[in-house]
Amino acid sequence: VPEAPADVKPVKIRPKMPEAGGARSGAESRAGAGLNAVETGLVDVPTAAVLDYGGYSSQTRFYSHGGLLEWVSFGVYPRLNLGASLAVNGLIGNDTAVRIRPPEVQVKYRFFDGDRLLPALGVGYDGQGFDYSPAEKRFHDRQRGFFLVATQELGLPGLQAHPSFNISDFDSNSICGAIPLSYNIRDKAQVFFEWDNINDFNDSRVNSGLRVYLTPKLRADFAVRRIGQGGVFSDNTSRGPERVVQLKYTGSF
């Protein structure tokens, strides 16, 4: 075989790269997945998703009676998130009785990523309750406590279920369940539904809402908690529906 002349340089063939901004795959495009920050929770319930290592998030909830609830969370290790929350009652508006509640902690570890047949799985602890009663010195909606959560797509792109079990009352060790559904609409918005605190039917809660993606890292939630409920709690405060607004920003270091 004749050798190539010494002055001829070899030609390097470079693989053709996809153009910037090119279309995603059909499945990704239909699902509207991959553009926005990971969703670690809906209204009250968690999902199996966690922040990436080095990620962080800040979420603010505006709730009834001028209350404000702030969460911060960090991806401190691959698959492991640590966070804290702080509630302030009566901060917004003209209420003179502003009360800061003790801070609470959150931990979540995703131990299985899931596949086409099996859901992603996570375990964790959430000490944050909702709707504090000064008279009873406790939250009407108690903390989630220890929980096990699964997340799985249900065949329709963008439609996911996030069922979970939790133990919040360690005196009775009663197990509660949650059946949440979420549907991502092409990364523009998300609608979600939760049936939470399933143990005693009368104490269970139905929550629903709309999530709007303002940017890939910033989103706003408009939700209603305790849909269809009425009457009063044991301290004679209203047990009816509660409207909440949430803002969440997710970034990375």
Instruction: Sketch the domain layout of the chain as residue ranges.
Output: 35-51+113-252
Of the candidates 40, 43, 41, the one whose C-alpha atom is nearest the C-alpha of residue 208 is 43
Of the candidates 144, 175, 177, the one whose C-alpha atom is nearest the C-alpha of residue 163 is 177
Indicate the range of 90-94, 122-126, 191-195, 203-207 predicted with least confidence: 90-94
DSSP state string for 106-123: EEEEEEE---SSS-EEEE
* pLDDT of 52 strictly over 80: yes
pLDDT at 135: 82
Confidence of residue 2 (pLDDT cuts 50, 70, 90): low
Of the candidates 187, 195, 242, 243, the one whose C-alpha atom is nearest the C-alpha of residue 219 is 187
Neighbours of 14 (CB within 10 A): 5
Higher pLDDT, 230 or 77: 77
| Pairing assessment for the beta strands 55-63 and 130-133 based on DSSP bridges | unpaired
Q: What is the pLDDT of residues 141-161, one digit of tens each?
A: 999 999 999 999 998 999 999
Mention every residue, 6+ apart, whose C-beta is less than 8 A from residue 253.
Answer: 54, 55, 56
Largest distance between two CA atoms of the chain: 98
pLDDT at 34: 61
Confidence of residue 14 (pLDDT cuts 50, 70, 90): very low
